[in-house]
Chain A
């Protein structure tokens, strides 16, 4: 292992990378921006449900119904209408999430002890939100029902009912950010290490400087090390930046061991750098490298359990996700950040990363050597 040689290679790479002011900015500002945006964007909690109401009844009872909705913190009646057309229009425009039509005989039917049908139209466009809205609607309606029944039949109202005491394991406050921010950390690191490594090698090809390198006694593994070490260092530096944002801005707790975090990050980088290396052997131009990076990152990202739970996916896809280094790194990150677990719990993931990384990196080197010769 010729250290002076490798040192010079790494030094050259750093000079090239950091010389351009803009590059420096992009390398360290981009992850921060990505963190901030991702951190605030991924949020499916229902904050408000906008409702339009046509009240044909205009009675005390219909008033009570609307109060029931308004009374919950989630529903907000934004439009009181008379016009069916406007009703439809609001839904089509997406200005309201739900529309309720209270029939004319609402009060009389209820007072008679019969069931009054309530026409509710819900915008199903974003189906996951729609389903949840319906659940909330059901809750409000049923509470109204019981209140109404109490009014109609004011006897001793201690009836047997269930009381759900719900406890949440892991992440008791259900903070979305606590869940996602570790994932964003992984994503940011992956993107850079993959993209920059492959581009770094291709740039030498495109610039023609490979010509000169070939005639020197430089060995291919030395060349590879000279290319991967700088990006490992940069990725780890970005990791630091990103962790600072996570802990200080998003106030994500970092309960576990920081050194384990960096150790597993290095294992993770084995895979990503290997893939970057591989991409450099199948691309001839920077454009191709970029597209290829995308080609890999998209599935890795989507099928990692970062935003979309793996358990929800079809069997085949779940099996495939075992080949995804991001999947393991995510578990490790969440474990270290949120649960504070150590190697004793996370060793399967670390091992998987190590194996995956070694295989990928080795394979990439073999392929690279063949191409170089």
Chain B
């Protein structure tokens, strides 16, 4: 490896980048947009579910029910309607997601120790949301029923009966249960894929298309030098992006790295190198910017978004897809990010993930090297 030649290659690549200032702006603008978008606009947490209640009973019991429902952080009773005909209006216009009908003989039934039915309508348009709503409703009903049972028993003369078991739930990692806290760190993985893989996926293909690859092949340039030279500028841009993203996450959203900064740096570098190698690989194989473009989106960006446990849980996926996630570098990196940002874990936990990333780096680099050598470098 000749350091002078290497320097020349790196310099040329830097010139390309800087002269192509639009790409450079975008390379920084996109991560910024992502963080702001995901941070402010997106929330996966389901709470303050807009509920309307149609209370035909208007009794103490029905009031009690409604009040307790409203007191729950999950439900927000936004209106009490007089008739169920208004329900469709509320639901169709997204002013409510749940409508609860309290029947006219609600309290009477409860007092008479009978079952009191409630008709509930959930807006199923968004099944994720609806599923969660259902879960919370059921939990609330169970809680309420237990309270009813207790008061029943109390009335029977067992005045001092208490609930047998009380769950003291403590949340570890992400105590305030904000989806933002795991989304923002995860974005870093996506940013790296965009900057590291998608950008580099064009660089070698472009040289093939311009015909300059021919020239390069005729020069005394080694495959290793070319790979390294092409990667270095993007490595630094990627790293800069990560640092900016981390800073933004902290300044705008208060999301702080709990783990060791150096571990973060090392893990990020490993993942970056994976991304870069992946991009260069796509570039060398396709030799066409048009195809490299689409291949990059399919094989770098989408997997990092969909198959990495970023927002879509891997354990919910069919087996076949779960197996595929094992070869997605983003999966391991996101695991590391969760460990560093949310769980404050150490090397024993992060180690295996980093090793896998390391292995992927070596494999990808090796592939790239072989590919270039085959081309005559």
Nearest A-chain residue to B344, judged by Cβ: A92
The answer, among A143, A149, A160, for a CB contact under 8 Å with B112, is A160
Q: How far is the CA of A64 from the CA of B294 in the complex (A)?
A: 56
Say yes or no: A124-B177 contact (C-beta < 8 A), given A145-B163, A164-B138: yes
Contact A41 B307 (CB under 8 A): yes
Give the residue of B44, B137, B152, B202 whose beta carbon is less than 8 angstroms from that of A286: B202
Cβ B150 vs Cβ A149 within 8 A: yes
Cα A284 to Cα B23 in complex, Å, equals 10
The answer to whether B127 and A118 touch across the interface, beta carbons within 8 angstroms, is: no
Given contacts A40-B317, A287-B20, contact A143 B142 (CB under 8 A): yes
**Contact among A146, A287, A294 with B194 in the assembled complex (CB-CB below 8 Å):** A294
Summarize B's interface: helix, strand, loop or mixed: helix
Give B19-55 interface residues, CB cut-off 8 Å to A. 20, 22-23, 26-27, 29-30, 33-34, 37-38, 40-47
A138 touches B124 (CB 8 A): no
B349 at the interface (CB under 8 A from A): yes
Once bound together, how far apart are the Cα atoms of A10 and B273, in whole Å? 41
Whether A120 contacts B118 by the Cβ 8 Å rule is: no
Asked whether, in the complex, the Cβ of B131 is within 8 Å of the Cβ of A174, the reply is: yes
Name, among A128, A158, A285, the residue most crowded by chain B CB atoms within 10 Å (CB to CB).
A128
Q: Are the C-beta atoms of A171 and B130 separated by less than 8 Å?
A: yes
Known pairs A145-B164, A161-B116, A179-B125; A26 contacts B307 (CB<8 A) = no
CB proximity of B76 to chain A, nearest CB, Å: 12
Stretch at the interface among A29-37, A254-262, A362-370: A29-37
Are the C-beta atoms of A142 and B143 separated by less than 8 Å? Answer: yes
A257 to chain B, nearest CB (A): 20
B306 and A37 within 8 A (CB): yes
In the complex, the chain B residue whose C-beta lies closest to that of A27 is B294
Q: Distance (Å) between the CB of B153 and the closest chain A CB?
A: 6
Q: B198 is contacted by which of A168, A294, A302 (Cβ under 8 Å)? A: A294
* Min CB–CB distance A51 → chain B (angstroms): 12
B153 close to A288 (CB less than 8 A): no
Report B291 CB to chain A, min CB distance, Å: 5
**At the interface, yes or no: A346 with Cβ under 8 Å from chain B?**
no
From B65, B112, B150, B175, A162 is in contact (CB under 8 Å) with B65
Please report the C-alpha to C-alpha distance between residue A46 and residue B274 in the assembled complex, in whole angstroms: 32
Q: Is the interface on chain B under 10, 10 to 19, 20 to 34, or 35 or more residues?
A: 35 or more
B374 proximal to A (CB < 8 A): no
User: CA–CA, A313 to B102, complex, Å?
Assistant: 30
Confirm or deny: B315 has a beta carbon within 8 angstroms of a beta carbon on chain A.
yes
A309 with B129: in contact, given A124-B173, A160-B109, A162-B148 (CB under 8 Å)?
Answer: yes
Stretch among B7-15, B178-186, B216-224, B240-248 lining the A interface: B178-186
**Which of B249-257, B263-271, B295-303, B364-372 touches A?**
B295-303
> Contact at A302–B42, with CB atoms within 8 Å?
yes
CB nearest neighbor in A for B94: A311
The CA-CA distance from A110 to B144 in the complex, in Å, is: 20
Enumerate chain A residues within 8 angstroms of B179, measured Cβ to Cβ: 126-128
Q: Decide: A312 near B170, CB < 8 A? Known: A145-B163, A286-B293.
A: no
Point out the residues of chain A lying under 8 angstroms from B91, CB to CB: 169
- Asked whether, in the complex, the Cβ of B290 is within 8 Å of the Cβ of A116, the reply is no
CB within 8 A of A165: which of B119, B123, B343?
B119
A166 within 8 A of B: yes
Cα A303 to Cα B34 with chains together (Å): 12
Q: Tell me whether A168 and B122 are in contact in the complex, defined as CB-CB below 8 angstroms, given that A30-B298, A298-B34, A309-B129 are known contacts.
A: yes
- Residues in A whose Cβ lies below 8 Å from that of B178: 127
Are the CB atoms of A170 and B125 closer together than 8 Å? yes
Complex Cα distance, B151 from A266, in Å, reads 62
A82 at the interface (CB under 8 A from B): no
B174 at the interface (CB under 8 A from A): yes
Q: Which residues of B contact A123 (CB under 8 A)?
A: 172-173
The digit string for B303-339, where 1 denotes a CB below 8 A from any CB of A, is 0001100011101111001000000000000010010
Give the complex CA separation of A119 and B165 in angstroms.
10
Question: For B349, what are the chain A residues with a Cβ–Cβ distance below 8 Å?
Answer: 92-93
- Given A294-B30, A312-B43, are A146 and B146 neighbors across the interface (CB < 8 Å)? yes
> A142–B30 contact, CB under 8 A?
no
Using known A-B contacts A47-B316, A137-B169, determine if residue A169 contacts B46 with beta carbons closer than 8 Å.
no
B4 within 8 A of A: no
How far apart are the CA atoms of A163 and B82 in the complex, in Å?
A: 22
Is A14 interfacial (CB 8 A cutoff)? no
Asked if B316 and A161 sit within 8 Å, CB to CB, the answer is no
The CA of A287 and the CA of B141, in the complex, are separated in Å by 56
Q: Contact: A165 with B316, CB < 8 Å?
A: no
Q: A117-B166, A141-B167 are in contact. Are A287 and B206 (CB under 8 A)?
A: yes
Contact between chains at A124 and B171 (CB < 8 Å):
yes
Partner of B163, one of A115, A162, A175, A191: A115
Known: A42-B312, A115-B165. 18 other contacts (CB 8 A): A26-B291, A37-B321, A94-B343, A115-B166, A124-B342, A127-B174, A127-B177, A132-B132, A160-B116, A161-B149, A162-B141, A165-B119, A167-B120, A167-B121, A171-B125, A171-B127, A283-B22, A294-B198
Closest 10 interchain pairs by CB? A160-B110, A142-B142, A168-B124, A124-B174, A291-B26, A159-B152, A135-B139, A124-B171, A171-B124, A138-B139
What would 17 A/B residue contacts be, using CB atoms closer than 8 Å? Answer: A34-B302, A47-B316, A65-B165, A115-B165, A125-B173, A136-B135, A143-B142, A146-B145, A149-B161, A149-B163, A159-B148, A168-B122, A203-B290, A285-B20, A287-B289, A290-B198, A317-B40
Q: Which residues of B approach A to under 8 Å, CB–CB?
A: 20, 22-23, 26-27, 29-30, 33-34, 37-38, 40-47, 65, 74, 91, 94, 97, 109-132, 134-139, 141-146, 148-150, 152-153, 156, 158, 160-175, 177-179, 181-182, 194, 198-199, 202, 206, 286, 288-291, 293-295, 297-298, 302, 306-307, 311-313, 315-318, 321, 335, 338, 342-343, 345, 349
